[in-house]
């Protein structure tokens, strides 16, 4: 028997498959190793950024009265405790005082973080020295419209700041192409209306994982970031072990694109054919903390499964659905066609995740291995399992000469088939 290990929440699960079964494992092309000294790397990129002045010189030239640093919330694996302290140190070296700096956690449409979570995210020392607050989706001010008509409404402390620094991690994103860069601003610290309008472009051609050029969502994000005057980014490229392999800093567009090269190098993986069964683990906690986050891995698996195939989604979902509207849409739908219809009538955040699931359900069956209640999983058109072994064994039996693809890091690995 062939043995495999998949991440599930904060633990691992084992899977055995027959030796005569055709099984491929979609691993990263070549994973880069962890930086020996990521803090020193950050310091160097702040002094030698891509496409702009060194941060210290930039601050000395601009002489801002207040600076905000945008930081990811707990649903992202961004190593903020490593990224943010060197940025603050550089700002202080440039002459700013601690009370001129504010750290803002970009929640997008996610729940607020507790003080304990914020402290853990950036480190106790920094949390005690620099004011740190949650983005409030209801306290945003209008700064204009993008060329696509998106009303850009930004969290008031961000909109009124003199200098915005955006941090985060860079990874594939199922309809914005990639995370990172100006995405810390939109959706990070924007209003519900702004986020919903931008995300409505996911229905347009080009809004897919791994694509920037002619991606309407990403292009709208870049325009909003420019309008809000995001001046500098610091992004970490992570490998599958969540180790920092590259730091990119500088111009929000040019530095972001430099980071994208490393993501593609590692995680855009060519496949020779599509598969009957795709077993997808988002990669464990926090990527499978809820169904909302696990959908990203499902979407990547979608690119590898045959029409009429089966995706086995291995996601703990300890927080259930993870978002109210998503849960409501999935539970009230009588068929997978309905959310696809509803989203065209009125775009709603959360509903877009239901569309992501239902798009896959139109093509393939989904077996869900999770801690969610069985009756709930059946209600939302998926087959529930508490055993990965049983789920995969059942899936394989449905196909003659079955082909299987394992995706142990499904949220960050994009299979593509050359046409």
What string of DSSP letters covers 218-263? HHHHHHHHHHHTEEEEEEEEE-TT--EEEEEEESTTHHHHHHHHHH
Would you state the pLDDT for residue 299? 94
Would you state the pLDDT for residue 67? 98
Biggest CA-to-CA distance, the chain: 69
pLDDT band at 350 (very low <50, low <70, confident <90, very high): confident
Q: What is the mean pLDDT of residues 310-322?
A: 97
Query: Phi/psi at 61 (nearest 5 deg)?
Result: -75, -45
Reading the block at residue 227, the tokens are 């309008």
Is the pLDDT at 370 greater than 80? The verdict is yes
pLDDT band at 73 (very low <50, low <70, confident <90, very high): confident
Is the pLDDT at 256 greater than 90? The verdict is yes
Answer yes or no: are the C-beta atoms of 281 and 8 closer than 8 Å: yes
Q: How far apart are CA 35 and CA 20, in angstroms?
A: 40
Q: What is the mean pLDDT of residues 339-362?
A: 91
Q: What is the mean pLDDT of residues 374-382?
A: 98
Is the pLDDT at 142 greater than 80? The verdict is yes
Would you state the pLDDT for residue 89? 97
Is the pLDDT at 259 greater than 80? The verdict is yes
Answer yes or no: are the C-beta atoms of 220 and 150 closer than 8 Å: yes
pLDDT band at 419 (very low <50, low <70, confident <90, very high): low
Domains and CATH numbers, the chain: 2-26+271-416 (3.90.226.30), 38-267 (3.40.50.11440)
**Mean of per-residue pLDDT scores for the chain:** 94
Question: Sign of the C-alpha dihedral, residues 343, 349, 157, 73?
Answer: negative
Would you state the pLDDT for residue 392? 97
Percent of the chain scoring above 70 in pLDDT? 100
Is the pLDDT at 109 greater than 80? The verdict is no
Q: What is the mean pLDDT of residues 270-294?
A: 95
Q: What is the mean pLDDT of residues 75-89?
A: 92
pTM above 0.85, yes or no: no
More confident residue, 27 or 335: 335
Q: What is the mean pLDDT of residues 24-33?
A: 89
Q: What is the mean pLDDT of residues 308-325?
A: 96
């Amino acid at each position: 028997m062939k043995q495999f290990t998949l991440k599930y929440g904060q633990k691992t699960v084992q899977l055995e498959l027959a030796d005569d079964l055709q099984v491929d494992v979609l691993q990263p092309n070549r994973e880069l190793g962890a930086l020996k000294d990521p803090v020193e790397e950050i310091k160097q990129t702040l002094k030698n950024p891509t496409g702009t002045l060194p941060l210290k010189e930039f601050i000395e030239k601009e002489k801002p009265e207040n600076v905000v640093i945008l930081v990811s919330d707990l649903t992202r694996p961004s190593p903020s405790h490593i990224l943010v302290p060197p940025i603050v140190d550089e700002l202080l070296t440039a002459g700013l005082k601690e009370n001129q700096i504010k750290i803002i956690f970009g929640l997008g449409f996610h729940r607020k973080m507790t003080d304990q979570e914020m402290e853990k995210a950036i480190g106790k020392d920094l949390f005690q020295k620099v004011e740190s607050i949650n983005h409030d989706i209801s306290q945003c001010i209008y700064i204009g419209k993008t060329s696509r008509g998106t009303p850009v409404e930004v969290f008031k402390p961000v909109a009124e700041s003199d200098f915005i620094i955006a941090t985060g991690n860079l990874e594939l994103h199922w309809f914005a192409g990639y995370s990172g860069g100006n995405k810390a601003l939109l959706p990070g610290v924007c209003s519900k209306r702004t986020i919903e309008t931008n995300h409505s472009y996911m229905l347009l051609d080009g809004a897919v994982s791994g694509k920037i050029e002619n991606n309407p969502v990403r292009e709208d994000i870049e325009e909003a970031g420019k309008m809000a005057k995001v001046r500098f980014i610091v992004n970490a490229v992570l490998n599958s072990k969540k180790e920092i392999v590259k730091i990119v800093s500088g111009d929000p567009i040019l530095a972001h694109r430099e980071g994208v090269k490393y993501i593609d190098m590692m995680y855009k993986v060519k496949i020779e054919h599509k598969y009957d069964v795709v077993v997808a683990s988002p990669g464990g906690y926090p990527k499978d903390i809820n169904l909302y986050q696990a959908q990203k891995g499902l979407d990547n698996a979608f690119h590898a499964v045959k029409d009429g195939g089966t995706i086995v989604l291995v996601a703990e979902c300890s927080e259930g659905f993870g978002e109210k509207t998503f849960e409501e849409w999935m539970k009230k739908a009588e068929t997978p066609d309905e959310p696809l219809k509803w989203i065209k009538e009125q775009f709603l955040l959360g509903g877009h995740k239901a569309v992501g699931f239902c798009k896959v359900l139109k093509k393939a069956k989904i077996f869900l291995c999770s801690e969610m209640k069985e009756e709930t999983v059946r209600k939302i058109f998926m087959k529930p399992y508490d055993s990965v072994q049983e789920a995969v064994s059942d899936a394989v039996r449905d196909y003659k000469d079955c082909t299987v693809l394992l995706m142990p890091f499904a949220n960050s690995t994009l299979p593509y088939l050359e046409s």
